[in-house]
Amino acid sequence: MFNEYNPLKKAMFQVIDNDGKVINKRWMPQISDTRLLKIYKDMLFARVADLQIVSYQRQGRIFTYPPNYGQEAIAAAAGALIQDNDWMVPAFREMGTMLAKGVTLKELFLYFMGYEDGSKFENAKFTLPISVPIASQLLHAAGIGYAVKYNNEDKVIYAFVGDGGTSEGDFHEAVNFAGVWKVPVIFIIQNNQYGISTPTKMQTASDSLAIKAVAYGVKGIQVDGNDLFAMYKAIEESVKVCRNGEGPVLIEAVTYRKGAHTTSDDPTKYRTKEEEQEWDERDPMKRLKSYLIANKLWSEKEEDKIIPQFKEEVDRQFIEAENYGPYPKEDVFKYLYAEMPDDLHDQERQYDRFLQWKATKVK
Amino acid sequence: MFNEYNPLKKAMFQVIDNDGKVINKRWMPQISDTRLLKIYKDMLFARVADLQIVSYQRQGRIFTYPPNYGQEAIAAAAGALIQDNDWMVPAFREMGTMLAKGVTLKELFLYFMGYEDGSKFENAKFTLPISVPIASQLLHAAGIGYAVKYNNEDKVIYAFVGDGGTSEGDFHEAVNFAGVWKVPVIFIIQNNQYGISTPTKMQTASDSLAIKAVAYGVKGIQVDGNDLFAMYKAIEESVKVCRNGEGPVLIEAVTYRKGAHTTSDDPTKYRTKEEEQEWDERDPMKRLKSYLIANKLWSEKEEDKIIPQFKEEVDRQFIEAENYGPYPKEDVFKYLYAEMPDDLHDQERQYDRFLQWKATKVK
Amino acid sequence: MVNAINDALDIKLAEDKSVIVYGEDVGVEGGVFRVTEGLQQKYGASRVFDSPLAESGIVGTAVGMAVAGLRPVVEMQFCGFIYPAFNQIISHASRMRNRSRGKFETPMVIRMPYGGGINALEHHSESMETIFGHIPGLKVVVPSTPHDAKGMLIAAIESNDTILFMEPKRIYRAIKQEVDEGKFTIPLGKANILTQGTDVTVVAYGAMVREVQKAMVMAKEAGISVELIDLRSIYPIDRETISKSVKKTGRIITVTEGPRTYGVGSEISQIAIEEAFLNLEAPPSRVSGFDVIVPLPKGEHHFIQDPYKIFYEIERIVKY
Amino acid sequence: MVNAINDALDIKLAEDKSVIVYGEDVGVEGGVFRVTEGLQQKYGASRVFDSPLAESGIVGTAVGMAVAGLRPVVEMQFCGFIYPAFNQIISHASRMRNRSRGKFETPMVIRMPYGGGINALEHHSESMETIFGHIPGLKVVVPSTPHDAKGMLIAAIESNDTILFMEPKRIYRAIKQEVDEGKFTIPLGKANILTQGTDVTVVAYGAMVREVQKAMVMAKEAGISVELIDLRSIYPIDRETISKSVKKTGRIITVTEGPRTYGVGSEISQIAIEEAFLNLEAPPSRVSGFDVIVPLPKGEHHFIQDPYKIFYEIERIVKY
Ligand SMILES: Cc1ncc(C[n+]2csc(CCOP(=O)(O)OP(=O)(O)O)c2C)c(N)n1
Ligand SMILES: Cc1ncc(C[n+]2csc(CCOP(=O)(O)OP(=O)(O)O)c2C)c(N)n1
Ligand SMILES: [Mg+2]
Ligand SMILES: [Mg+2]
């Protein structure tokens, strides 16, 4: 597959077309109907959650939030394949994979409401917190890859980055280190066409992002990121490469950020209605749904039934997060060092004294 | 040429063989005999200087120095082609190009003896000082490229980096910016097989360094860096690309650092005699000399005559540098800001007072 | 303040063709805080534009442009994202003149919103001015009002030094003030005495000035006369203004947002003891953040300086 | 000191399979200062190895390894080359525990030769410990003797925190000292009183300790009794030791190599005035570099602290 879709050939790997029809039987992944349905529902859940969060934000109930809207197939495919013991190294637009690892929506809500507790990911093993500084997390993935290889563990590291992130030096260093060390990392670039307002063509003059694999001597492939089957198959094959000790893989998943960059962004400033409509045709949910309906695995009726349930579930977790309670003062100081240095301890005590004094002033 | 030697084809561009025989007439550059002789003499001068500096260093008359020994053809070819108004952005192993720009040996000596004055390059226009932090200078080249393009100037920027330097994030960002901006920069990687003790294969798993051009959508070519004609031609063609507004070019010049990394390094620790001997066969001076002698442009006799003259000239400039005199205290403070801040002025005055006091104590 | 900064850029872009403005999303979008809004339309995409997402790239290319005679004004999108550019700042932007013994200069401005109090994500609320103030060859300035922002930015763009221009984003839109039209400059490196007072000197800058002013209301009620100095310049420090003031009041407190240890406060205290040891009636003191990472929004109130904290310290020092 | 550090690495490599040593040229060559000499032969190339030339890469991958349970000890080849890694240090290595509320830790050591006085090229002589000491979540330590280097490095490798281990390269081979064999640790964060004294406290660390000791010979002749504290830890600072000492002597001077403004000196002074204001008989003071870029070798004597400079200040402060 990596030969057939060598990025130098400039062909994007696709399995279904915009109407959900299989156009590439050879590479159609084997997914059982139940499993496929589960994946679709996970994508749907992510989308429902996503749209709902945007409306919470409008109500002022959450701060910034970066929607996954339109990119659900990528995180869902990775989520379907990632194992409990595999590592997840997120950027910040991979809700599907995080949920699959056991992160809860409530935790994500807490995080975006402004609690570090939301990054603890109590039930998600081997899942790093969201990384805000673009591309820097990729080096962690390479380092984890080294540890996994050093310890002879049978684990794969899933690492995410955006198209914008490929311009950072850390992207270069990470894929390069991983290539030299031949470590089992799948680097997934979500090329959603923009880094905030900046289009991908202003990030780089290269023919594609997948082609950058050549610079590191690693396998690369450009995949239709709105085609769940293609994403699934590409990751499945990448996992094999990794488990065979053949080193890292670079996947460019071509997609589109249908929403705003974050809830504080206004995309009408930098892109056209026509462009948005064009991408609507390629919407990953729509395409998978067409496939499912055509194959009698799903119906609009079922969808109409399940959406309210999902909304309710999202709301339930959101309200739980909203009622999380105050942020304990101790938490400001507690996690800096394995043991708190005396001086920091003093600072905390001084703060206590101030708070006591303040309590007498402010009633 | 950039099509024919597209780095994806994995063919190194050569014009003469190890015996100085032309093996690639099609791309043999047009260089007049006098000009060619001048280039050879410049290379010879650089080599003489280089070997002499190493011996000065052994005598404790200069601190660290990174020899060019074995890599002379690259800097010489660039030196022959660079114009007075072109920009030179050096790493630290391009003596030939710097001398061509008008930098004097004396200045280089001053620099390596520990005077910033050696970086002033009084007579070399558009030549940046040596850049110690690996690869960081490449971004300056991209920025200068922007300025040149913005001002519609007909200038080319020559920027140098080592094989080790290609691992740094700044290498990536620089070539990427230059690619997006389509600016007239020739990035020349001197792949001398090592970054200090680290062999190139530990820097990257890519098939070559030239191939990294693909990642930035820029032209690239791998050149035999010990083949003066090939280097000359490759740079000549790159200059055309730049002057045509077709953007940057990435040249990998394959060469060998015959000397130590710097005068404080001992290469026997990390490489074999056999390897060194193998590269002796490909020595750039030897190859060019064979060509010249075969074409009756040069003789061993002439060489024996000129070497002592060169030695004398090197020595003259070295002794001038040695007698440069003390480092004025003012120079420590003077160049930090366009105008010296009061506080820094105070610091200088305090230091004056201390020096006066000290003079009374130490006789 | 956003408008004032935009105005300063506008004036310099109009006046000097060597001024170039770029950074992440500063072009089409006009910056995530809309500071550069409208400038690309006005001056074209070769003078105001979006760069690739790479901070080292942005600062490093600016060094090159500056060396070649342009006057780049680049934006770091948030205070937490300047670090990939750290090497270019400390190894080149601040050193080129010294390294080349005056042959090359790097007249460039790095603009950066900084500081907390806006309910932002991690890395969007830092105040790490100390580490930049400690870099020889760099100037670091912070305006506290729209007027200052405009005058100081114009001065920064006209300076032949490399200037880190830190913008207190918390008050980007908080302070309403008439700003003089047209061009004017405010000299960099000079502090500004905002209020004369006799009991204690309080030094602050950026968004903290306003917080001190709130505390001063309480202080006034308590009968304490505060002399408020807006430091304006983190490096160089206006030693003279501080010296005079502390000699007069005998007491000094510095209010900053960043971590305490190695913060700006201890340097101001050091200056006070060097200049006015025998006049001191209380130990030079500081109100600052703790030595911790800025908490996410729900915990940020524990970290940022509230006026009560400042007043608490004023009272303590005056009663000392 | 080089041998002592090598010994510490050797002991930990032998004892703990999770310890991994890498960096530029640390493998085959054993490091440009030969600090890691022989370790690759002994422990193999999967435990001691050369990395690609990329400092962000080195520190960033170490963060990943540490998160995954290893204990990487990485080398930055010189103090001037840590800056490309600055983002990984300030945004990740120092933050991972806090960010994940204790779920992940980054037990890792970044070793780095620092400081001047060895006739080196530009960027090879810096002492910028302040900027690292100001980073919350990071510990920064400096040994001044081979014995301390060994004990502190072992402690650093065993710590679950991220430690910047700064090695004063000027005394890499300058101090001859018998170092205890076998394993021992010296707790991080504790200063060391090297000489008891009564007239003035001098705080120093790294290569400056030896320079102060030279100055103390002059001081003794002048009848001045100096209490010498080796700070050992730039962050956290051992407040208690400083406090006790300055309460006793009433005078304190900090001797550092880096630029003056925002240097370690002003923080030590601040601690002194916070802890012992009423005991002070002279202003807490500092001997430091100037706010300039370290000059190249021929000018470096103007910058580095000579014993006379230190003695000059001791005398001034004692006579104050
Ligand atoms: C180092 C760094 N610089 C700048 C930012 C501000 N920022 C946040 S998201 C973003 C754009 C990211 O674009 P891309 O990588 O394509 O990811 P996307 O948001 O499209 O998923 C920027 C510039 C950041 N978070 N980190
Ligand atoms: C950022 C940075 N890291 C480390 C060093 C130390 N150093 C000096 S030269 C060198 C090796 C450079 O190798 P290469 O780029 O191949 O150039 P060469 O010396 O072979 O010409 C290293 C690691 C440096 N100067 N800058
Ligand atoms: Mg994107
Ligand atoms: Mg090399």
pLDDT tens digits, residue range D190-231?
Answer: 999 999 999 999 999 999 999 999 999 999 999 999 999 999
Out of B180, B212, B247, the one facing A204 most closely (by C-beta) is B180
> Is the model's pLDDT at A114 over the cut of 90?
yes
Average pLDDT over residues C237-244: 98
Residues of B in contact with D304 (CB under 8 A): none
The pTM of the full predicted model, rounded to 2 decimals, is 0.98
pLDDT over 70 percentage in chain C? 100
Closest atom of ligand 2 relative to the B261 alpha carbon = 19
- Closest Cα in chain A, distance from residue B344 (Å): 32
Write down the pLDDT at residue B341.
Answer: 97
Q: Is the dihedral of CA D86, D87, D90, D94 positive or negative?
A: negative
- Point out the least confidently predicted range of A174-183, A260-269, A342-351, C127-136: A260-269
Rounded Cα–Cα distance for residues C313 and C200 (Å): 11
HSE-CB of C171 using CA atoms within 13 angstroms = 23
Average pLDDT over residues C250-264: 98
> Is the model's pLDDT at B264 over the cut of 90?
no
- Residue closest to C52 by CA, chosen among A64, A160, A206, A66: A206
Query: Which residues are CB-contacts of C149 (< 8 A; sequence separation ≥ 6)?
Result: C1, C4, C5, C8, C143, C167
List of E strands, B237-327: 249-254
Residue of D25, D81, D125 with the most ligand 2 atoms within 8 Å of its CB, for mutation: D81
Contacts across the A-C interface (CB distance below 8 Å): 119
- Of the listed ligands, the closest to the CA of D56 is 2
Angle at D229 between CA D228 and CA D232, to 5 degrees: 145
Mutation pick from B175, B200, B214 vs chain A, by most beta carbons of A within 10 Å, is B214
- pLDDT tens figures, C15-29: 999 999 999 999 999
> Is the model's pLDDT at A160 over the cut of 90?
yes
Out of A129, A139, A342, the one facing D100 most closely (by C-beta) is A129
Cα C82 to middle of ligand 1, angstroms = 13
Question: C239-249 and C264-276 are packed helices; what angle lies between their axes, rounded to 10 degrees?
Answer: 70
Look over chain D and give the mean of its residue pLDDT values, rounded to a whole number: 97
Average pLDDT over residues B260-277: 91
- pLDDT tens figures, C60-117: 999 999 999 999 999 999 999 999 999 999 999 999 999 999 999 999 999 999 999 9
Rounded Cα–Cα distance for residues A22 and A5 (Å): 18
Q: Could you list the active site residues of A? A: 257, 261, 270
> Is the model's pLDDT at B262 over the cut of 90?
no
Average pLDDT over residues C213-242: 98
The answer to whether residues D289 and D251 touch, using CB atoms and an 8 Å cutoff, is: no
Distance set, CA D42 to CA A281, D34, D77 (Å): 61, 15, 22
Write down the pLDDT at residue A288.
Answer: 98
- Residue closest to D94 by CA, chosen among D41, D55, D126, D133: D133
The answer to whether residues A141 and A89 touch, using CB atoms and an 8 Å cutoff, is: yes
Closest atom of ligand 1 relative to the A166 alpha carbon = 15
Average pLDDT over residues B151-171: 98
3-state class (DSSP) for residue B11: coil
Q: Which DSSP category does C214 fall into?
A: H
- pLDDT tens figures, D183-198: 999 999 999 999 999 9
Write down the pLDDT at residue D10.
Answer: 98
Q: Is the CB of C45 under 6 A from ligand 1?
A: no
The answer to whether residues C25 and C34 touch, using CB atoms and an 8 Å cutoff, is: no
Confidence band of A362 (pLDDT split at 50, 70, 90): confident
Write down the pLDDT at residue A64.
Answer: 87
> Other CB atoms closer than 10 Å to residue A302's CB: what's the count?
14
Write down the pLDDT at residue C10.
Answer: 98
> Is the model's pLDDT at D15 over the cut of 80?
yes
What's the full length of chain B, in residues? 363
Average pLDDT over residues C255-283: 97
3-state helix, strand, coil in chain D (%, to 5): 40, 15, 40
- Closest Cα in chain A, distance from residue C38 (Å): 11
The answer to whether residues A87 and A144 touch, using CB atoms and an 8 Å cutoff, is: yes
Question: C55-67 and B169-181 are packed helices; what angle lies between their axes, rounded to 10 degrees?
Answer: 70
Q: Which DSSP category does B74 fall into?
A: H
The answer to whether residues A335 and D101 touch, using CB atoms and an 8 Å cutoff, is: yes
> Is the model's pLDDT at B363 over the cut of 80?
no
Angle at B117 between CA B148 and CA D309, to 5 degrees: 130
Query: Which residues are CB-contacts of B169 (< 8 A; sequence separation ≥ 6)?
Result: A168, A169, A170, A172, A173, C56, C84, D54, D56, D57, D84
Residues of D in contact with C283 (CB under 8 A): 273-274, 277
Average pLDDT over residues D153-174: 97
HSE-CB of D207 using CA atoms within 13 angstroms = 24
> Is the model's pLDDT at B263 over the cut of 90?
no
Token readout for D47 is 């435990």
- pLDDT tens figures, B248-259: 999 999 999 999
Average pLDDT over residues C279-286: 98
Q: Report which protein residue has its CA nearest ligand 1's atom 6.
A: C77
Average pLDDT over residues A146-158: 98
A362 vs D308: which has the higher pLDDT: D308
> Is the model's pLDDT at B57 over the cut of 90?
no
Active site residue D302: no
Cα D132 to middle of ligand 4, angstroms = 30
Write down the pLDDT at residue A264.
Answer: 79
Confidence band of A263 (pLDDT split at 50, 70, 90): confident
Token readout for C21 is 């403005």
- pLDDT tens figures, A14-73: 999 999 999 999 999 999 999 999 999 999 999 999 999 989 988 989 888 999 999 999
- pLDDT tens figures, A193-218: 999 999 999 999 999 999 999 999 99
- Of the listed ligands, the closest to the CA of A264 is 1
Write down the pLDDT at residue A238.
Answer: 98
Q: Which residue has the tokens 């007698």?
A: B323
Beta partners for B89?
B159
Query: Which residues are CB-contacts of B32 (< 8 A; sequence separation ≥ 6)?
Result: none
- Residue closest to D309 by CA, chosen among D317, D299, D297: D317
Look over chain C and give the mean of its residue pLDDT values, rounded to a whole number: 97
Residues of C in contact with D273 (CB under 8 A): 269, 273, 283-284
- Residue closest to C231 by CA, chosen among C207, C255, C203: C203
Look over chain B and give the mean of its residue pLDDT values, rounded to a whole number: 96
Average pLDDT over residues D25-41: 96
Residue of C nearest to B332 (CA): C98
Q: Is the dihedral of CA C203, C208, C213, C217 positive or negative?
A: negative
Residues of C in contact with B144 (CB under 8 A): 64-65, 67-68
Q: Which residue has the tokens 């066969």?
A: B281
The answer to whether residues A243 and A154 touch, using CB atoms and an 8 Å cutoff, is: yes
Distance set, CA D300 to CA B345, D122, D170 (Å): 18, 11, 13
Question: A228-243 and A33-58 are packed helices; what angle lies between their axes, rounded to 10 degrees?
Answer: 110
Cα dihedral value A289, A292, A296, A301, nearest 10: -30
Write down the pLDDT at residue D108.
Answer: 98
Instruction: Pinpoint the alpha helices (H) of chain D.
Output: 2-15, 39-43, 55-67, 86-88, 96-99, 129-133, 146-158, 207-221, 239-249, 264-276, 297-300, 307-319
The answer to whether residues D217 and D250 touch, using CB atoms and an 8 Å cutoff, is: no
Cα A190 to middle of ligand 3, angstroms = 7
Q: Is the CB of B67 under 6 A from ligand 2?
A: no
Write down the pLDDT at residue B63.
Answer: 85
